[in-house]
Amino acid sequence: MKRIKNKTIPIILICGAFIAFMPILWMISTSLKDSNSIFSFPLKIIPDPVHWENYSTIWKSMPLVQYFKNSILITGLTIIGTVFSSALVAYGFSILEWKNRDKVFIFIIFTMMIPLQVIMVPVFVIFKQLGWLNTFKPLIVPAFLGGGAFNIFLFRQFFLNIPREIIDAAKMDGLSHFQIFKEIALPISKPVIATISILTFMFTWNDFMGPLIYLSDQIKGTLALGIMMFVGQHQTEWGELMAVSILMMLPMLIVFFVFQKYFIRGLMIGGSKS
């Protein structure tokens, strides 16, 4: 491609990046202001003086420690369930050979297209009849049962690339399929495990509708739910709202920057092959 040799493109890109980053910058700035300087004009980006109070008051304004614990517990168990069950199922769809295997797998991919709303009401009724409302079970247990078609797909792609000779040699040494799964398939698929863990983390940490439907007891709420309730009650306390939003964002930002490679690869595979 012939490159445009002038300075317009870099300038457009830098201005655009500034616009994209501005809300985050402004958010940090607002979280460090007291309520007087939030409303004072002209607005300053760098707070002067810096007020850290918002970060201490939010712990008193809501049961934030409890929300963090709940979110971490739900997200952690969901990741474990998703990784383990999608790996197991993918093994059954890749290393094991059986009739019509690939046709059944295409069917699984098709089930991804059914909108969640269609099954939402009956699934709610199931959990209600099980007496699981207001517990974490409706949010965690489904992850252990299949782990989602997309994740099965990711694992399967990886398992299909394991050379057949390795599997055959392992069988000759007397390893069962469970041992091959545990000793060979899982250890070499660390990159896929990383990708799936990160995508699941992002999704579960941010999930709003699930907790909204199943957790009505305030003390059982997740961070997302807690912030939502805080918005309803303290709509004008922008400094505190921004501070708590930043606290919720922080783990995501850290995971994103540390595992950027895996994160982006997962999105790319999802976007180009699904």
Partner 1 sequence: MPKRFLIFIFLSPWIIGFATFGIYPFMMSLYYSFCQYDVLQIPMFIGLENYKNILTKDPYFWISIKNTAYYTFFRVPLNIIGSLLLAILLNQTVKGIRILRTIYFLPSIISGVVLSVIWMWIFNPQIGLLNIILGFFGLDGPLWLQDPQWSKPALIIMSLWSIGGGRMLVFLAALQNIPKHLYEAFEMDGGNIYQRFFHITLPMISPVIFLWSIIEVIASMQVFTEAFIMTKGGPLDSTLFYNLYLYNKAFEDFNMGYASALAWILLAITLCVTLAQFHLSKRYVYYEGQK
Residues 167-186 that bind partner 1 (CB under 8 A): 176-177, 181
**Residues sharing a CB contact under 8 Å with residue 63, sequence separation 6 or more, in sequence order:** 218, 219, 226
Binding residue for partner 1, selected from 50, 231, 254, 258, defined by CB under 8 A: 231
Kindly state the number of chain residues that form the binding site for partner 1, as judged by CB under 8 A.
85
Question: Does 70 help bind partner 1 (rule: CB under 8 A)?
Answer: no
Closer residue to partner 1 (CB): 23 or 131: 23
Binding residue for partner 1, selected from 47, 63, 146, 191, defined by CB under 8 A: 146
Question: Does 206 help bind partner 1 (rule: CB under 8 A)?
Answer: yes
Start-to-end CA span in the chain (Å): 29
Binding residue for partner 1, selected from 58, 142, 156, 159, defined by CB under 8 A: 142
How far is 31 from 25, CA to CA, in rounded Å?
Answer: 10
Burial class (CB in 10 A: 0-12, 13-18, 19+), 30: buried
Question: Does 75 help bind partner 1 (rule: CB under 8 A)?
Answer: no
By CB under 8 A, what part of segment 101-140 binds partner 1? 108, 111, 113-126, 128
How far is 228 from 240, CA to CA, in rounded Å?
Answer: 13
Binding residue for partner 1, selected from 34, 228, 234, 259, defined by CB under 8 A: 228
- Classify each residue of 89-127 as buried b or exposed e, where b means 16 or more C-beta atoms within 10 Å of its C-beta: bbbbbbbeeeeeeeeebeebeeeeeeeeeeeeeeeeeeb
Q: Least distance to partner 1 from the beta carbon of 169, Å?
A: 19
By CB under 8 A, what part of segment 241-260 binds partner 1? 241-242, 245, 248-249, 252-253, 256, 260
The half-sphere exposure of 268 on its side-chain side, counting CA atoms within 13 A, is: 7
Question: Does 24 help bind partner 1 (rule: CB under 8 A)?
Answer: yes
